[in-house]
């Protein structure tokens, strides 16, 4: 409790020190991405966010068929130049999509590789904390940095690309090419892409009912545009040469929450320490094998004699190790940069787990 309070105070004073408080008048109106890791737009002020997007178990062959497949690899140690027997697997995610939010009414993800709508939801958007970190630490989550979807997912793309031009599926015209988007008067995007010789404009908008989307599909010429989908899932609004308007109905109903309550630890363990080492980003700067990096290696660290830039030398006992995680600015080991490492506020048993983990590397 106390730790949390001092943490907030620390962050605040940090802000006061470093960021002069001047806010331009029109800033609030325009829709920018702030320190808030749960950014939201409104219908009047849509929010467009390009980021790695979550993959809510989309069909990788049919929906993400223009993507290549990541593989698992043996882990590699730069210290020895060798691979080892442990394996690093890929994680789910969509690399080049665009997320759009119109407040609680609608969020959707449109993908520039598949050139199609991937999924849509209400009551939330993307929680960016895994990717952006918090204001004071600013570190992404090691191997789980993909933003988290939260809200009620009501639509998920299924099957091959639904758009047909002159009776031919887009999927048969080769990989589509994303051309860009324009913002119309509603400040919402109108996406453009080409497939074969056709140029298609794709305009997703809030549908007439909750949890619906209206899509306007227009081609540059007068091609016949059709949208192949089970009848229960779409309603055609209008159709004319070169233009089709359909309403998409819900085909999914999944509640997503980004609030993962950390289960209280009962005891400190090396395994927990290792998990924290990987998930909090320690691994980015501290090797465990004696290799050089931004921070000192963990190998031989515990119990060793440490010399600091300003503080007097001491033995790396448990208290020192915890202090170095909690308040790393207190002592900086000679040869390293001061102020490099952010402070990490953890549960006491989490500190202890990290200490156990560090001690493993003698």
Residues 138-167 that bind other proteins (CB under 8 A): 138-140, 142-143, 145-146
Beta carbon nearer to other proteins, 237 or 283: 283
Question: How near is the Cβ of 301 to other proteins at its closest, in Å?
Answer: 17
Are 170 and 163 contacting, i.e. CB atoms less than 8 angstroms apart?
yes
Which residue in the set 70, 241, 253, 303 belongs to the binding site for other proteins (CB under 8 A)? 70
Site for other proteins in 212-251 (CB under 8 A): none
Q: Which is nearer to other proteins, 92 or 303 (CB)?
A: 92
Under the binding rule (CB under 8 A), the answer on residue 137 touching other proteins is: yes
> Quick one: angle between helices 348-359 and 270-279, nearest 10?
100
In the region spanning residues 256 to 295, those forming contacts with other proteins, defined by CB under 8 A, are 281, 283-285, 287, 291-294
341 scored as a contact of other proteins (CB under 8 A): yes
- Hey, which residues between 166 and 205 contact other proteins (CB under 8 A)? 178-183, 189
- DSSP notation for 274-342: HHHHHHSSGGGT--SSS---SS--STTTTT-EE-BSSSPPEE--HHHHHHHHH-GGG--BTTS-TT-SP
Q: How far apart are CA 17 and CA 113, in angstroms?
A: 43
Please report, for residues 45, 125, 187, 209, the alpha-carbon distance to residue 151 in angstroms, rounded to integers and kept in the order given.
19, 7, 23, 17
DSSP state at residue 101: E
Least distance in Å: CB of 8 to other proteins? 15
CB of 358 to other proteins, least distance (A): 18
* CB of 213 closer than 8 Å to CB of 117: yes
x/- track of binding to other proteins for residues 298-317 (CB under 8 A): --------------------
Q: Binders of other proteins among 29-58, rule CB under 8 A? A: 30-36, 47-52, 55
CA distance 305 to 244: 73
Q: Which is nearer to other proteins, 10 or 270 (CB)?
A: 10
The least CB distance from residue 226 to other proteins, in Å, is 26
């Amino acid at each position: 409790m106390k730790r949390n309070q001092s943490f907030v105070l620390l962050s605040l004073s940090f802000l006061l020190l470093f960021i002069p408080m001047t806010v331009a008048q029109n800033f609030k109106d325009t829709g920018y991405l702030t320190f808030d890791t749960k950014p939201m737009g409104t219908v009047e002020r849509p929010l467009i966010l390009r980021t790695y997007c979550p993959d809510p178990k989309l069909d990788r062959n049919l929906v993400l068929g223009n993507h290549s497949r990541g593989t698992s690899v043996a882990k590699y140690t730069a210290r020895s130049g060798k691979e080892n027997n442990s394996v690093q697997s890929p994680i789910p995610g969509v690399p080049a999509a665009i997320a759009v939010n119109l407040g609680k009414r609608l969020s959707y993800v449109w993908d520039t590789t598949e050139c199609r709508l991937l999924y849509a939801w209400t009551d939330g958007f993307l929680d960016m904390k895994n990717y952006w970190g918090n204001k004071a630490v600013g570190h992404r989550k090691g191997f789980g940095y993909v933003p988290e979807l939260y809200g009620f997912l009501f639509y998920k793309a299924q099957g091959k690309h639904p758009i047909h031009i002159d009776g031919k599926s887009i999927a048969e015209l080769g990989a589509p090419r994303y051309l860009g988007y324009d913002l119309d008067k509603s400040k919402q995007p109108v996406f453009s892409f080409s497939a074969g010789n056709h140029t298609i404009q794709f305009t997703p908008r809030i549908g007439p009912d909750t949890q619906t989307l209206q899509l306007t599909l227009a081609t540059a010429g007068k091609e016949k545009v059709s949208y192949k989908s089970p009848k229960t899932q779409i309603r055609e609004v209008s159709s004319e040469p070169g233009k089709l308007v359909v309403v998409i109905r819900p085909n999914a109903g999944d509640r997503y929450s980004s609030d993962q309550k950390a289960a209280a630890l009962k005891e400190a363990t090396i395994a927990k320490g290792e998990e924290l080492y990987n998930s909090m980003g320690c691994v980015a700067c501290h090797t465990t094998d004696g290799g050089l990096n931004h921070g000192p290696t963990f190998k031989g660290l515990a119990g060793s004699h440490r010399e600091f830039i300003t503080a007097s030398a001491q033995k790396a006992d448990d208290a020192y190790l915890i202090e170095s995680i909690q308040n790393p600015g207190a002592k900086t080991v000679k040869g390293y940069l001061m102020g490099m490492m952010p402070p990490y506020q953890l549960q006491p048993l989490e500190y202890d787990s990290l200490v156990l983990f560090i001690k493993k590397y003698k």
